[in-house]
Amino acid sequence: MRGPSSSHTAGAYHIGRLIRSLLGASPVSAQFLFDPDGSYGKVYHEQGADLAFIAGLLGIALTDPRFPSMIDHASQHGLETSFSCEPIPGAEHPNTVVIECATSDGTALSVTAESIGGGSVEITRLGDWPLQINGCYHDVVVESEAGREVDILALLAPDDNETVEIEQLARDGLSLLHCRRFAPLGRDLIDQIRSLSGIREVWNTEPFFHVQRGLPIFSDAAAMATMAIDRHITLGTLALEYESVLLGLPGDEVLAEIIARLRIMEQSVIEGLASDLPSMQLLRPSAGMIIDAEAEGRLAVGGVHARAAARALAVMHVNAGMGVVCAAPTAGSAGVLPAVISTMREEKGLSDEEAALALLAAGAIGVITAERATFAAEVAGCQVEIGAAGAMAAAAVVEVAGGTARQAADAAAISYQNTMGSVCDLVQGMVEIPCHTRNATAASGAFVCADLILGGYENPIPLDETIDAVYDTGRMLPPELRCTALGGLAAAPSARNLRRLR
């Protein structure tokens, strides 16, 4: 993705893409409404959500180099946009948006959506209908007069093997059928549905994630660790199988996907260490200077921890400049895993496959976090973004060192335990201060947590319970400390008075 925020940038882009699919064309007008008490309403411009919504609606890739100038492209494509804040009744998520769109032929659409963390989204209302579309399947939605369901269903789900589920809603003499599918419904069948009498609307969307064809082989850390130990395999190897089963892909294709992400991570480190990197909005680049100082022996201690910390800064420099990064698990925490993996490759000479298995081990910890909690700082603070990345990275270090899956889970647990309660207080609404140094310390700390467990420390509170406690703690934080730039460091006089560099 392109930085700076997975919730605000990637999430907004994915919502835009889904709306473009539903419309079947580029809109000519789009009005965006945010709740003033939510995170979108406070920082949508600073974190590029406006640019991302437009890119998604226009069908321009999020990684396209034209991304920073999307406002101009909207005008060039005849798209009029407006952004405003008003109370949204029933808005349960801080990243809720109501979007009213229209195409040149008069087709209009009203959508309520949420960006729920790490780039994942949900459309929660289509017109007056409550439903859930998340970009994980091929969705077909049919609104009709009541009594037409049998004929529609015959065309909507002709192949049970490709149909995930069908949901039916009814009100005021109308019916809504929502079909989730592994594969797209043929254009001829969609046209036949449209030709039936009593049909009011037919919408369909395409997924932007890999379609999940299988079931998870584990859903909690205890089962994950036991499964790996019983089978005498590492967490990375088990995670490879998890992805293969879930996506219905052979293992070598999964590894190829992970290595592609590894390349993006490594490139973001290289770009962030460059001497000609432009200033961000609040910070001047420093990662390259720190690497040079470490190499020349000018630091107090230096070593692997300092190099990892500097590389984490480097990636976050790229992220803040709207460069291309790999959200791992989010853009606000995108520096940690690239820093740890690239430093481990330097120290241990890891092959691509070994590095990919380390990333997969980290991803297994992310799976448990996603299952039990969230990746949205808007919901639970920085502990579920940079805190999660640090926990994932600690597991990756254990994987490289040859530790067991239980040791990887314990290293992740103690990492979480030492970031619990951390707030999201981004200064002036931008993912720079204190996000950059938090990524750096999380990368450095991943080695410490892994070494403690590998050296014999016994973690008394398992990962599952730790994540539950992290989530509960995060939800206790007031809104001012959850990505609204209203509290914590963001409220400090020096932070408020910082002048922007560009």
pLDDT of residue 57: 96
Cα–Cα distance measured from residue 27 to residue 6, given in angstroms and rounded to the nearest whole number:
24
Reply yes or no on whether the pLDDT at 338 is more than 90. yes
Q: Does residue 95 contact residue 116 with C-beta atoms inside 8 Å?
A: yes
Q: Which band of pLDDT confidence, cut at 50, 70 and 90, is reported for residue 489?
A: very high
- pLDDT tops 90 at residue 39: no
Torsion of CA 195, 201, 202, 205, to 10 degrees: 160
- Residues 6+ positions from 493 with CB-CB distance below 8 Å: none
Task: List pLDDT tens digits, range 196-220.
Answer: 999 999 999 999 999 999 999 999 9
Q: Which pair of structure tokens corresponds to residue 183?
A: 């594969």
- What's residue 427's pLDDT? 96
Residue type, 247: L
Q: Domain 138-206 has what CATH class?
A: alpha beta
- Taking residues 392-397, what's their average pLDDT? 98
Q: What is residue 21's predicted lDDT score, i.e. its pLDDT?
A: 94
Helices 235-247/221-230 angle, 10° precision: 110
In sequence order, the 6+-apart residues with CB closer than 8 A to the CB of 106 are none
Q: Cα(312)–Cα(320) distance, rounded to whole angstroms?
A: 12
Mean pLDDT, range 21-29, rounded to an integer: 93
Higher pLDDT, 90 or 490: 490
- Encoding tokens for residue 324? 């291309």
Confidence of residue 37 (pLDDT cuts 50, 70, 90): confident
Q: What is the mean pLDDT of the chain?
A: 95
Going edge to edge, which strands form the sheet with 138-145?
A: 163-171, 174-181, 138-145, 199-205
| Whole-number pLDDT of residue 18 | 96
Say how far apart CA 337 and CA 323 lie, in whole Å.
Answer: 17
* pLDDT of 46 above 90: no
Q: Are 428 and 498 in contact (CB under 8 A)?
A: yes
CATH code assigned to 1-136: 3.30.1330.90
Looking at residues 274-289, what average pLDDT do you find? 93
As a whole number of Å, the end-to-end CA separation of the chain is: 22
pLDDT of residue 474: 97
Check the CA dihedral 362-394-452-468 and report its sign.
negative
Pairing mode, strands 29-34 and 80-85: parallel
Is the pLDDT at 246 greater than 90? The verdict is: yes
pLDDT tens, 362-386?
999 999 999 999 999 999 999 999 9
Residue 161's pLDDT band (cuts 50, 70, 90)? confident
pLDDT at 455 over 90: yes
pLDDT of residue 278: 86
- Stretch 323-348: mean pLDDT: 97
Give the per-residue pLDDT at 45.
87
Sheet with 129-133, edge to edge strand ranges: 80-85, 29-34, 96-102, 108-117, 120-126, 129-133
pLDDT for 38 beyond 90:
no
Residue 47 has pLDDT above 90, yes or no: no
Q: Where are the domains of the chain?
A: 1-136, 138-206, 221-497
* Residues 376 and 116: beta-carbon distance below 8 Å: yes
229: left (phi over 0), alpha (psi -120 to 50) or beta: alpha
Q: Determine the pLDDT at residue 247.
A: 95
pTM: 0.92
